[in-house]
Structure 1
Amino acid sequence: MTTHAHISAKNVWMRNVVLISLVTAVGGFLFGFDNGSISGSVGFLQSKFALDADGIGWVTSSIIVGCILGVALAGPLSDAVGRKKVLLLTALIFIFGVLGEALATSAEMLAWFRILVGVGIGVETTIAPLYIAEVSPAHLRGRLVSLNQLFNCIGNLAIFSIAAIIASLASEAWNVEHGWRIIFATGIVPAIIFLLLLARIPESPRWLLRKGRDAQGLNVLRQINPDEAAANDQLQAIKVALKHERPSRLSELLNPRLRKALVIGFCVALFQQITGINAIFYYAPEIFKTAGVDVSGAMSFTVLIGLTLVISTLISMWIIDKVGRRSLLIFGSVGMAVALTCTGMLFRAAEANTTALLICILAYVAIFAVSYGTVAYVLISEIFPIHVRGLAVSVATFALWGGNFFVSRFFPVLVENISAANTFFIFAGTSVVALIFVMTMVPETKGKTLEEIELELHGK
């Protein structure tokens, strides 16, 4: 009995860490759910509001404008008031933004509310991985930070499935009038759940210690460490890092000591997007329709993309702390270049082979999810020193959403003007550039504490 109690006590800290990470990652589900809702709605919106390629590109990409604003606010705000309070704000933004999307009476109104939802997504994608990294033990940090991306993928799969079901239950005319509203409105439920769950998690111990709230910080460290000695050791390590604290200013990021980390974070985030992943997520049904697939088949293929994304992200979580971040990025760059080239060649063929096209796109999605889809968020959350971490993560995530905006805004225009084949060839070429960058610039961070990474990358 005593032995059992002792084992249970030792496992409490791990349960706490996993619980905190899971609750925070529900925000990732909202990101995937709300971000992916446009995919099943875009065809209906095009008919409802008589949108051309440029118009549908704007409605789709308007959410990214909000994401960029959210990213700009997230780091400084979380450094000022704490990670938890900022996450609570995102839950409220999601609730009001999604309600506005569902009730929109014009394309302009829809775009404005998508911008609001985007603010919530931008904040969540910046702060959730950072927060999870700050409460995770070094040997599990990659997997736990990846939970946010896993939940993002599950959110994608959920909304792709819901959209496919809604589209199949009624006529095209009904979906044009009402179906897309229901697709958007379903996002209110997970937003409310996220808001309620956030009440169960503590503030980041590193943020508390940075603000001089040592007793509260130590209390949280006791909850997420196996024993008192480990909590005290981590407390001292964080305090050593904090001794080098300086005001969190944008100009500080240009310091030669931090420049390498900033370039790495910015470029890895940018490559995650400009290799074309959101062209697939936002426009998948329309891509398959271009290849001659009917509406029902296109929606079913999109659900397969969501399922592939979830399975591949689970694989990435399993191997990221074993294989390492850099190796996965190299694998992803090569694999995506090959899959995208094959996709372009299929579109260039006189008659597209829809089965081969589906296989190539699923392969691309799987390779992306195993590599850049997960690794970018993990790497960004761990390579910056604590005194500029919130601000630096915001800058890196800004690159991510900037790339996302470019792809989502101009993909329909590129397809219309230079063809789908040439557009995918451009994405393939970008993957090759990403490979060169990773091989020459990106270090390995697996198995190292945040303080060890800071010492290695930045020195003292």
Structure 2
Amino acid sequence: MKKIIFLAIVASIGGFLFGFDTAVISGTTDLVKSQYALDDVLQGWYVSSGLVGCVFGVIVAGFASDKFGRKKALLMSAILFSLSAVGCAVASDFTYLVTSRLIGGIGVGVASMLSPMYISEIAPQSKRGMLTSLYQLAITVGILIAFLSNAFIQDFSLNSSLSEGLISKIFVSEQWRGMLGAETIPALLFFVLLLFIPASPRWLQSKGRTEEADAIIKKYNIESAKENQTHSEQGDQSKKYFKNRGIRIAIIAGAILAVLTQTSGINAIMYYGNSILQSGGADSNLAFQGQVLIGIINVLFTFIAIFTIDKIGRKKLLYIGVTTLIISLFLVGLMFYFNASMELKMLFILTFVAGFAFSYGPVIWVLLSELYPTEIRGRAMSIAVLSLWIANTVVGQLVPWLRSEISEHGIFWLFAIFCLPTYYIAKKYLPETKGKSLEEIEEYWMNK
């Protein structure tokens, strides 16, 4: 089990980079807007450019993971993360900066799909929910480290005596460069560690490479997937799967649920939280500190999911979490509407983040990684994750405009409304996958 945990932790670093890359932007939005004199539309493009890259990354990941394997595609994402971080740090103009963000977004898109997929394929069924939730925990840790890194660099820039040279430019006069460039270190670490993990044995079995798969299964004591071996011996079964009504329902339900996680409002907090807190009455330093607190709550409450998702199940956790989101979003909007104290606004924002952290956040990645048959998992999951990133891009682009049009309280109430359909989708279409093998879940959909 220790070996499998090591594999899961290495794959989860993709989640760390996902979280870091998407959260680090929040400390740079106002700085970049000021330096390049951006309007609301261009500011939205700066934030959503990385998300557009995510869309392309997911498209690439679906094909690459089924064709070349999960490991090789993850190695590609590590290289893209590194190129993006360095590019952002030395960007000569806004176009160069956005291009670097696009490259990093492709890396995020690949890792966001393949890290949880790899974990689900090597994890024992009794621990699959917990181990796949490590991916969401890594995302939250990445978010927290990004907030801490931003706060540290911001403090360094205000108190540093450096006045010239490249270091001064990156960390003092244009500190957003240092914030974005800090991702280089974990990106390189991810690349190195990926060299020491094996290919997914389930993917190898789906390609008929049973001897290689058996060797990895034996070495790492991974549960064998005999039904996958049978499928590989029968040849390419992908057309059969995509024609099956149950599989099509699984793909559509997964995609809709993925979209709903993004329209819940979590990324409005992650991308624009610094600005939202300042509009609520916090000064610049307090806003940075507030985002660090958001990051801490995000990490702590993810542990609830890790230790309960295999006990109480995916659906119950989802129901509890969504109810928490709706109530807290309504109350956050109410606090902004009546211009309540910053403490009350922060309290309900933190409640919202906590609700997302123990439900929506981990549950979506667990479900998407286990709903689909191994032979088409890359392509099927790419549809859901592609939908997720398109929704994420739209939210990232529209939030500045929505804040101007319907103000802060209107945005939070709008997000609360978008949470409601989750109850129907989960109750009507999603099975409880707790305690079931990936092959048993496949059989459920094939017979639906």
- Alpha-carbon shift at residue 156 of structure 1 (Å): 0.6
- Alpha-carbon shift at residue 235 of structure 1 (Å): 4.3
Structure 1 window deviating more from structure 2 (203-212 vs 374-383): it is 203-212
* 1:332 partner amino acid: G
* 1:449 partner amino acid: S
Alpha-carbon distance in 2 for matches of 1:235, 1:354: 53
Question: Contact conserved, 2:157 with 2:173, CA < 8 A, in 1?
Answer: no
Please say if 1:373 is aligned against 2:361.
yes
Alignment partner of 1:287 out of 261, 267, 276? 276
Alpha-carbon distance in 2 for matches of 1:343, 1:241: 51
Alignment partner of 2:229 out of 239, 242, 245? 239
- Alpha-carbon shift at residue 310 of structure 1 (Å): 0.5
Alignment partner of 1:317 out of 281, 306, 320? 306
1:50-129 equivalences under 5 Å are 50-129=37-116
The Cα offsets for residues 41-65 of structure 1, whole Å up to 9 and x where unpaired, read as 1121111111122111110011010
Alpha-carbon distance in 1 for matches of 2:67, 2:424: 37
Equivalent in the alignment of 1:223: 219
Alpha-carbon distance in 2 for matches of 1:58, 1:247: 41
Please say if 1:204 is aligned against 2:192.
no
Alignment partner of 1:382 out of 370, 378, 395? 370
Alpha-carbon distance in 2 for matches of 1:18, 1:28: 15
Equivalent in the alignment of 1:7: none
Please say if 1:459 is aligned against 2:447.
yes
Equivalent in the alignment of 1:31: 18
- Alpha-carbon shift at residue 241 of structure 1 (Å): 4.5
Alpha-carbon distance in 2 for matches of 1:277, 1:395: 21
Question: Contact conserved, 2:255 with 2:384, CA < 8 A, in 1?
Answer: yes
Equivalent in the alignment of 2:166: none
Equivalent in the alignment of 1:10: none
Question: Contact conserved, 1:133 with 1:141, CA < 8 A, in 2?
Answer: yes
Alpha-carbon distance in 1 for matches of 2:246, 2:328: 38
- Is the partner of 2:221 in helix, strand or coil? coil
With over 3 angstroms needed to count, the CA separation of the structure-2 counterparts of 1:248 and 1:113, relative to structure 1, is farther
- Is the partner of 2:282 in helix, strand or coil? coil
* Equivalent residues, number: 439
Please say if 1:185 is aligned against 2:181.
yes
TM-score by length of 2: 0.94
Question: Contact conserved, 2:206 with 2:231, CA < 8 A, in 1?
Answer: no
- Alpha-carbon shift at residue 245 of structure 1 (Å): 5.7
* 1:295 partner amino acid: S
- Alpha-carbon shift at residue 30 of structure 1 (Å): 1.0
Question: Contact conserved, 1:253 with 1:262, CA < 8 A, in 2?
Answer: no
Alpha-carbon distance in 2 for matches of 1:381, 1:118: 20
Question: Contact conserved, 1:221 with 1:235, CA < 8 A, in 2?
Answer: no
* 2:415 partner amino acid: F
Alpha-carbon distance in 2 for matches of 1:126, 1:380: 9
Question: Contact conserved, 1:242 with 1:386, CA < 8 A, in 2?
Answer: no
CA RMSD of aligned residues (A): 1.8
- Is the partner of 1:138 in helix, strand or coil? coil
- Alpha-carbon shift at residue 169 of structure 1 (Å): 2.5
Alpha-carbon distance in 2 for matches of 1:127, 1:212: 21
- Alpha-carbon shift at residue 166 of structure 1 (Å): 1.3
Equivalent in the alignment of 2:408: 420
Alpha-carbon distance in 2 for matches of 1:149, 1:327: 18
Question: Contact conserved, 2:203 with 2:375, CA < 8 A, in 1?
Answer: no
* 2:269 partner amino acid: I
Gaps of 5+ in 1: 1-13
1:281-430 equivalences under 5 Å are 281-349=270-338, 351-430=339-418
Question: Contact conserved, 1:128 with 1:148, CA < 8 A, in 2?
Answer: yes
* 2:295 partner amino acid: G
- Alpha-carbon shift at residue 254 of structure 1 (Å): 5.6
Question: Contact conserved, 1:24 with 1:128, CA < 8 A, in 2?
Answer: yes
Question: Contact conserved, 2:208 with 2:229, CA < 8 A, in 1?
Answer: no
Equivalent in the alignment of 1:3: none
Question: Contact conserved, 2:244 with 2:446, CA < 8 A, in 1?
Answer: no
Question: Contact conserved, 1:44 with 1:176, CA < 8 A, in 2?
Answer: no
Alignment partner of 1:42 out of 29, 33, 49? 29
* 1:450 partner amino acid: L
Alpha-carbon distance in 2 for matches of 1:155, 1:254: 39
Gaps of 5+ in 2: 164-168
Question: Contact conserved, 2:33 with 2:39, CA < 8 A, in 1?
Answer: yes
Alpha-carbon distance in 1 for matches of 2:379, 2:297: 33
